[in-house]
Structure 1
Amino acid sequence: MQFGYSEVCVEHDPGPRHPESPDRLRAIRERLKRKHGVEYVEGDPVGIDVISTVHDRSYLESIEEFCAEGGGNWDPDTTAVEETWDAIRYSAGQACWAVEKALEGATGRKTPFAIGRPPGHHAVVDDAMGFCFANNVAVAAQQALESDEYDVDRVAIVDWDVHHGNGTQDIFYDRDDVFFVSVHEQGLYPGTGDLGESGEGDGEGATMNVPMPAGTDDTEYLAVIEGPVAAALESYDPDLLIVSAGFDAHRHDPISRIRLSTEAYALLTDRIRGLADRIDAALAFVLEGGYGLELLADSVAIVHETFDGREPIEPDGEVGDRAASVITDVLVEHGLEDEVDL
């Protein structure tokens, strides 16, 4: 894979006890040293004019000033330092680079994966939260839609981070040119993402939330991707598919109760890649969460290995009653119950 990376993103340091640490990128880089075919590219940073296509400009100006004055705690979870504003610009820039490479035709071993930080999927239109300041996938999706160079009318975003991508939902909730899917742990931070949150106005039906119960495993996550997600996106037919790739649904991650194995990320990658191929959508990955350093590094590495030719090991479990109930409810919410057999 090609990885969008900048050392500027390491300079955003919320402090030694903060889970969203620069060590996340260092761990990924160290793990990828053992892999063949890894390429690093530094995308250009984007400015406030680009980021403000999805965020309130006055909010962004406040963040820029906050960082220039030395930063501090924006909220109890979200901390900035002087270097954070540049890291925000580069992190969003890496996401834009990944989308551009995908739209230029990068596939297979050249599939782009932006590993910038701070992450973005909790950043709403006019505020930072959950370690996130600017919504990287939203910025990249908007740039693709506005570009005169690429023929992009519809974008799909699949967020498999264990936390609901409330910021991405907030930005695109009333629009029909972005289909947003979030598969997350029910009841976890930030407490949004009920299955009835499915869009409004022009965006009615263009948001799909899949709040999975604690204890959900590999087989059950695959059933979500192979069932309602695949059916919805095959119908939507996007030109571009972006994965908000968080890795905190791992069974050993310190802040979640979903039970995915490292192998699950190979399986999810394989299914998403197959889906993108079927619907002829360009495919890009953008890093979100994942806070156990070794788990994060191993999970990113197995995504790379999947594109490098490794065959995922199929699970042998069955979909439990609780997970099946959620999947059925999602299918009914989106009128897909006749298209998918559990």
Structure 2
Amino acid sequence: MRFGFDEVCLEHDPGPRHPETPDRLRAIRRGLSKKHAVDYRSADSADESDAMAVHDDEYVAEIRQFCADGGGNWDPDTTAVEETWDAALAAAGLAMWSARRAAAGDDGRATPFAIGRPPGHHATIDDAMGFCFLNNAAVAAQHVIDRGDAERVAIFDWDVHHGNGTQDIFYDREDVFYTSIHEDGLYPGTGEVDETGEGAGDGTTLNVPLPAGAGDPEYFATFDDVLRPAMERFDPDLLLVSAGFDAHRHDPISRMHLSTDGYGHLTQRVRDVADACDAGLGFVLEGGYSLDILSESVGMVHEVFDGLRPVEPDEEDVDEAVADILDDVRDVHDL
């Protein structure tokens, strides 16, 4: 893979006790240094007009000024310092790079993965929350649409938290399909099955809230039985993965049981969907708060594109409660 990285993203420091630490990127880079054929690329930062393409102008100006004044607690979870604004623009710029390169056909070992921070998928049209200031994946999707590089973009969010911000931004849009697998009831408490979009975007939002304890069998069944047919029906030109790694069984802030090899199997599945749709495929980092597990899981995604076949899981039955949820999703989306 080719990893987009910018040292500026290390300068956003919410404090020593905050889980969204600059050490996340340092850990990823240390882990990748032990892997084969790791290629780093730089990218221009987003500018304010890129942010304003998906966020309210007044909000963009407000968060910029908030950082210029020294930052502080935007809310109890979302903390900024003076350097946060430049880091947020850099992270959005890296996501834009990932989307552009994917839309241009970079694949295989050239598949782009933007490892910027702060993350983005909780940032709504007019508010920062959940550690997020600018919605990186949304900025990237809008960027390639505005350039004419893609007409239809699908965003698959496998972070353990629902990407309420990405859903919010594209909820009434027919040209962006947003789908999320997340832990039911976890922050921010959104992402119900019946949240499907509105107006022109009716049917272009698909949520699968899984119960705590769901693991590899439930994630694979969700993807194979629901997400893949829905994404293929949408037929995107570009598939972006909002790649959080906090659904891992050893992440400290969730109760899901996805394994490292499970992320490898999900990676192969999204690659197969992109191939089936003749769509570009790019990745944008979201969450993941165990440094060792984050590093290991990003390394797994990389190695799948380097030819690794993840360990095949033992055959396990899908939890009955999850099977019922998938039935509900199929009914709501006529799958």
TM category (shorter chain) comes to over 0.9
Question: Which residue is equivalent to 1:76?
Answer: 76
Find the aligned partners of 2:105 and 2:318 in 1 and give their Cα distance. 36
Give the structure 2 partner of residue 195 of structure 1: 193
Contact 1:158 1:241 in 2 (8 A): yes
Match of 2:255 in 1: 257
Task: Give the drift of 1:119.
Answer: 0.2
The aligned amino acid for 1:98 is S
Pairwise CA distance, 1:318: 1.8
Match of 1:125 in 2: 125
Alignment partners' CA distance in 1, 2:4 and 2:151: 24
Match of 2:271 in 1: 273
Q: Determine whether 1:90 maps to 2:90.
A: yes
1:210-235 Cα offsets, whole Å, 9 max, x none, are 00011101011011111111111111
What is the CA RMSD across the aligned residues, in angstroms?
A: 0.6
Where does 1:93-104 land on structure 2 (aligned, <5 Å)?
A: 93-104=93-104
Shift of 1:177: 0.4
User: Residues of 2 paired with 1:201 and 1:315: CA distance?
Assistant: 41
Quote how far apart the aligned CAs of 1:312 are: 1.5
SS at match of 1:332: helix
State whether structure 2 residue 290 is matched by structure 1 residue 322.
no
The amino acid that maps onto 2:323 is A
3-state SS in 2 of match to 1:40:
strand
Instruction: State the one-letter code of the partner of 1:330.
Output: V
Letter in 2 for 1:327: L
Counterpart CA distance in 1 for 2:60 and 2:153 is: 24
Q: Which residue does the alignment assign to 2:67?
A: 67
Provide the rounded CA distance (Å) in 2 between the counterparts of 1:222 and 1:313.
Answer: 14
Deviation at 1:10, TM superposition (A): 0.3
Q: Note the 1:206-245 alignment, pairs <5 A.
A: 206-245=204-243
Could you tell me which residue of structure 1 aligns to residue 15 of structure 2? 15
SS in 1 for 2:106: coil
Question: Deviation of residue 286 (structure 1)?
Answer: 0.2
Q: Deviations over 1:191-242 (max 9, x none)?
A: 0000000001000010000000111010110111111111111111000000
Q: Which residue of 2 aligns with 1:51?
A: 51
Q: Aligned AA for 1:101?
A: R
SS at match of 2:13: coil
CA–CA distance in 2 between the matches of 1:207 and 1:185? 17
Is 1:177 equivalent to 2:167 in the alignment? no
Contact 1:270 1:312 in 2 (8 A): no
Q: Which residue of 1 aligns with 2:152?
A: 154
Gaps of 5+ in 2: none
Instruction: Work out the number of aligned pairs and report it.
Output: 334
Q: CA deviation at 1:324?
A: 0.8
Length-normalised TM-score, structure 2:
0.99
2:295 to 294, 297, 302: 297
2:319 is aligned with what amino acid?
A: G
CA distance in 1, matches of 2:98, 2:166: 17
2-side partners of 1:103 and 1:219: how far apart?
31
- Structure 1's consecutive aligned runs of 4 or more residues displaced over 6 angstroms after TM superposition are none
Distance 1:323 1:314 in 2: 21
Q: Distance in 1 between matches of 2:78 and 2:283?
A: 23
Amino acid at match of 1:24: R
The 2-side partners of 1:22 and 1:318 are apart by 39
Q: Distance in 2 between matches of 1:56 and 1:138?
A: 13
Contact 1:163 1:188 in 2 (8 A): yes
Displacement after TM superposition at 1:21 (Å): 0.2
The amino acid across from 2:30 in the alignment is E
Check the 8 A contact 1:199/1:207 in 2, yes or no. yes
Deviation at 1:315, TM superposition (A): 1.4
Aligned equivalents of 1:300 and 1:156: distance in 2? 21
Distance 2:208 2:142 in 1: 24
Q: Could you tell me how far 1:314 is from its partner in structure 2?
A: 1.9
Following the alignment from structure 1 to structure 2, what is the Cα–Cα distance between the partners of residues 128 and 241?
Answer: 25
CA distance in 1 between partners of 2:154 and 2:16 (Å): 36
Answer whether contact 1:27 1:294 (CA < 8 A) is retained. yes
For 2:323 and 2:176, the matched residues in 1 are separated by 27
Superposition deviation, residue 153 in structure 1: 1.2
